[in-house]
Amino acid sequence: MSAPSVGQSERRSGALLEYLARRMRLRSESVLAPLGLRPRHLVALTVLRDAGGISQQALASTLQIDSTNVVGLLNDLEAAHLVERRRSPEDRRRHDVFLTETGASRLGEAECALASAEEEVLGALDPAERDQLYELLRRATSGAPANCAAAVTDEAELDASC
C-alpha cells in the first residue's frame, strides 16, 4: 500500500472509524491483558466513571450492548472488585452499578498504559492533531445517545438524497 486513502469518493467516516478502532483495539488488547482487562471492560469502566450509579438497563443502552450481556460483563468486573452492584432502595428490581475505588485506580492505570498503543496507532498524527481528534471524539460521544428512536424515522428521506 502506497499511502492509501481509505474511502475517498463519498467521504464517509464509517469505514475509517471501523478501521482505526480495530487497529486500536488490537494494540490495546495486549496492553490491557496484564491488567486483567479487555477493551470492552475498559469502555464499561469509562462510562461508569462518568455515570456511576446507573441501572444495568441504562448501562446496556449507553454501551449499546444487549442487556443480557451486561450481566456477564458486570460479573467479570465485580469478581475483580472493580465495580459494585447495589440493589436500588427505590425500585427493588433494579441494580445500581458503581465504580469502586479499586476500579477507578485500575482504570487510571489502564489509560496510562494505553499511551503506547496510541503512540503506535495514531503515529501519523502530531500531538496537536491527536488532541483535536480526542476532542472531536469526546464531543461526538457526548451527544445524546437517546435520539436513536427519533432518528430512525428519518432514515428513508435521508437515503433518497444521494
Partner DNA sequence: TATTGTTATACTCTATAACTATA
Partner DNA sequence: TATAGTTATAGAGTATAACAATA
**Considering only residues 130-159, where is the footprint of its own copies by CB under 8 A?**
130-134, 136-145, 147-148, 151-152, 154-155, 158-159
Q: How far apart are CA 14 and CA 31, in angstroms?
A: 26
**Considering only residues 8-37, where is the footprint of its own copies by CB under 8 A?**
8-26, 28, 31
User: Measured from the CB atom, is 72 or 143 closer to DNA?
Assistant: 72
Q: Please give the order of strands across the beta sheet that includes 83-87.
A: 54-55, 95-99, 83-87
Write out the three cell numbers for 46. Answer: 469509562
- Region of 120 (left: φ > 0; alpha: ψ -120 to 50; beta: rest) is alpha
Convert residues 18-57 into a mask of x (bound to DNA by CB under 7 A) and - (unbound).
Answer: --------x-----------x-x--------------xxx
Query: Quick one: which segment of 70-78, 86-94, 95-103, 117-125 binds its own copies (CB under 8 A)?
Result: 117-125
Q: Does residue number 79 form part of the binding site for its own copies (CB under 8 A)? A: no
Give me the count of residues in the chain: 162
Q: Does residue number 69 form part of the binding site for DNA (CB under 7 A)? A: yes
The one of DNA, its own copies, none whose footprint includes residue 1, by CB under 5 to 8 A per kind, is its own copies
Q: Map grid coordinates 472531536 to a residue.
A: 136
Query: Residue 108 to residues 45, 68, 86: CA-CA distances in angstroms?
Result: 10, 27, 23
Write out the three cell numbers for 112. Answer: 496510562
Angle between helices 39-50 and 101-113 in degrees, nearest 10:
120
The one of its own copies, DNA, none whose footprint includes residue 100, by CB under 5 to 8 A per kind, is none
Q: Which of 33, 71, 79, 125 binds its own copies (CB under 8 A)?
A: 125
Binding site for DNA (CB under 7 A): 26, 38, 40, 55-57, 65-72, 74-75, 85, 91-95
